[in-house]
Chains A and B, each alone.
Chain A
């Protein structure tokens, strides 16, 4: 079972994604509510995949992505974006994000994305 770290400042999103993933063969090993906590948890848990929200307080998803890739170039991070964040997503892709999913998304989309990477 692939280990996943879910990063989002909205509890709603974390619970929503966690529910979908846990019921579909993924092991959600941790959650983080901002980029700084995400980097720490990545170090601590070494997940196989990270779902990374973009807009968060303290440290955003883009910076967290870069920090994580810096620590572990093989890290598999999927950005979770909203419409209108093209510039940040572009930067993320060029900085090593394995891909991205755009809100609102359906469960199938989320699962197909993670299944591709695991």
Chain B
């Protein structure tokens, strides 16, 4: 049963299960064992993945998950005895990695075709070395049914009841044929005085094979109408064919018991009751929703916001006194805002899934480099838009790997420096205003200022003389493509690719990243991402014929400049002095190459805006007013033909139908 939507469900669910499993294993590794509840859960997860994989015909996934399921079944059977846990965690984690890789191949349209033979034989070897299972511990056996009746009898006075020969054959490949045969016996029990069947035993593999090759035969004695017997067969699943033939009771073929009407053995005892482990149900009030539906919903709400503005701020109403209308439109605005807030919150998920993934990264990286590192997570319950979650784990992985690789020193070195042997990497998230701020910090050696300066000079980014260039500016070099101070390329870092990718990923999310460091004490990376890109509170302003929006959060103040506060600095940059501080002026008409009538500083407006890395004044013609807008990304054709889009992060359609560009304060200074 395969089709695309089913594949999606399979991938989603399996990935979730694997994440849970990995979390379990990492936790267990810290305790050097798993308790019986955890063993059960690992078993169940592998069992489920095995089942789903087999339904999707992913044979390699079936085999490997079956192998781990089997391992944990043996562990369960050990009861109180412990297996050698050390070997187990690594083995199962490598199986998890195998499955994860195959799932991601499937996700991108590829095939799950890698052979798990190596991992499987490793597990089989391990299982061979395990202490034997306690026979009595097999829970399944304990709950197994009692002996199937070789002959079943209802207390009936001896008499001549008609006898029948019933022969059945099951569908090819329907499995467990001997149990299906048992089912028929049970169904006929109430209708027959006596039953004798061949094969006799309905438990062994041998009996199953006999039934598959030769069919299942019953000789019954019953006072019922043969149609009733046929009805039982008609309701038996996976029956290929069946026949019910009356036999005279002196027929040679009839087994002895039926011919002689001898009292048969007592009927079987009832199957043992299995204690039901009923736990309290935690009912969850959640439903799954397709993300595409949410995207559509968010889009629509965005349009609603724009349209609401089009109505309430309609030029047709200019100058009219409409107090009732105004009350009503205020109410409309409130409702629209509330709707917008709720819809945005629907897409929000806690960062915990991303954060917990990092545990594995820290574990693997520190193990491979023989370092001792603890990962501390703070604020994982902080919620962010799903889009951020999806695109944040790669950058965070790079940063964390880097901290463990470059930042944290070896245990010996840490001791020498008087630090605790185990290094600490802290991953923290918190809401600050309209943004979420995520920091990755370590208590390691800090950035090597000298090495970075050297590399910067090498790459021609900086003059040789270290004229006291600020740390902030110098350290930001590490985000440039191809910049790495690591002499050799290791598996984890050194190609100078990681930091550049991190920077781009963060920018793609509309955010920013910067780094601070103290030599010998550690490094802190700070990522700031707006909670939503979709709807922005902005200040509309005009430059020439064009309309722009600047996000309100970036604006510190706006004012009419006084020409005498403006001067040119030694490097030829235009600056303005505000209350004793100097800020660069960026003339937007120059920056964007716009023809504007307003070029004299005294004729326009200066807006003091602040980004993560700097504060500056932009010079514009005039301000129109505050406006809430729906941000749309640039259409693809623009992204393709524009050589760079620095300075703008998207566009929006205003209430009057005009298009306005949205200023990206973070990369305004790049040019």
Interface residues, chain A, with chain B CB atoms under 8 Å away = 9-13, 15-16, 19-20, 34, 36-37, 55-59, 62-63, 66-67, 78, 81-83, 85-91, 93-95, 97-107, 109, 112-113, 116-117
Question: Do B236 and A116 have beta carbons less than 8 Å apart?
Answer: yes
From B10, B143, B235, B237, A12 is in contact (CB under 8 Å) with B10
State A43–B279 Cα separation when bound (angstroms).
19
Q: Which residue of B lies closest to A115 (CB)?
A: B237
For the complex formed, measure the closest distance between the CB of A82 and the CB atoms of chain B, giving whole angstroms.
Answer: 5
For the complex formed, measure the closest distance between the CB of B208 and the CB atoms of chain A, giving whole angstroms.
Answer: 9
Give the secondary structure class of B's interface.
helix
- Chain B residue total in the interface (Cβ 8 A): 44
Tell me which of B49-57, B117-125, B351-359 binds A: B49-57
From A10, A81, A83, B13 is in contact (CB under 8 Å) with A10
Q: Does B89 contact A (CB under 8 A)?
A: no
Question: Do A63 and B274 have beta carbons less than 8 Å apart?
Answer: yes
A–B complex contacts, Cβ < 8 Å, 8 sampled = A12-B10, A15-B6, A63-B278, A82-B51, A87-B143, A98-B237, A101-B174, A102-B175
For the complex formed, measure the closest distance between the CB of B472 and the CB atoms of chain A, giving whole angstroms.
Answer: 49
State A19–B2 Cα separation when bound (angstroms).
11
Which chain B residues border A101 with CB–CB below 8 Å? Answer: 174, 237-238
For the complex formed, measure the closest distance between the CB of B647 and the CB atoms of chain A, giving whole angstroms.
Answer: 46
State A93–B178 Cα separation when bound (angstroms).
11
Q: Which residue of B lies closest to A67 (CB)?
A: B276
Q: Does B180 contact A (CB under 8 A)?
A: yes
State A117–B234 Cα separation when bound (angstroms).
9
Given A16-B6, A37-B281, A113-B238, A91 and B54 touching (CB < 8 A)? no
Task: Tell me which residues from 524 to 581 in chain B have a Cβ below 8 Å from any Cβ of chain A.
Answer: none
Which chain A residues border B145 with CB–CB below 8 Å? Answer: 87, 90-91, 93-94
Q: A16-B9, A91-B271, A117-B235 are in contact. List 15 more A-B contacts (CB 8 A).
A: A9-B48, A10-B13, A15-B6, A56-B44, A83-B175, A87-B143, A89-B176, A90-B144, A91-B274, A93-B180, A97-B183, A100-B176, A104-B57, A107-B1, A116-B234
For the complex formed, measure the closest distance between the CB of A23 and the CB atoms of chain B, giving whole angstroms.
Answer: 11
For the complex formed, measure the closest distance between the CB of A81 and the CB atoms of chain B, giving whole angstroms.
Answer: 7
Q: Which residue of B lies closest to A78 (CB)?
A: B237
Which chain B residues border A11 with CB–CB below 8 Å? Answer: 9, 13, 288
Question: Do B55 and A12 have beta carbons less than 8 Å apart?
Answer: yes
Which chain B residues border A57 with CB–CB below 8 Å? Answer: 41, 44
Question: Do B271 and A63 have beta carbons less than 8 Å apart?
Answer: no
Question: Do B55 and A16 have beta carbons less than 8 Å apart?
Answer: yes
Question: Do A90 and B1 have beta carbons less than 8 Å apart?
Answer: no
Q: Does B450 contact A (CB under 8 A)?
A: no
Of B48, B62, B235, most buried by chain A (CB within 10 Å of CB) is B48
State A93–B180 Cα separation when bound (angstroms).
8
For the complex formed, measure the closest distance between the CB of B253 and the CB atoms of chain A, giving whole angstroms.
Answer: 28
State A67–B273 Cα separation when bound (angstroms).
12
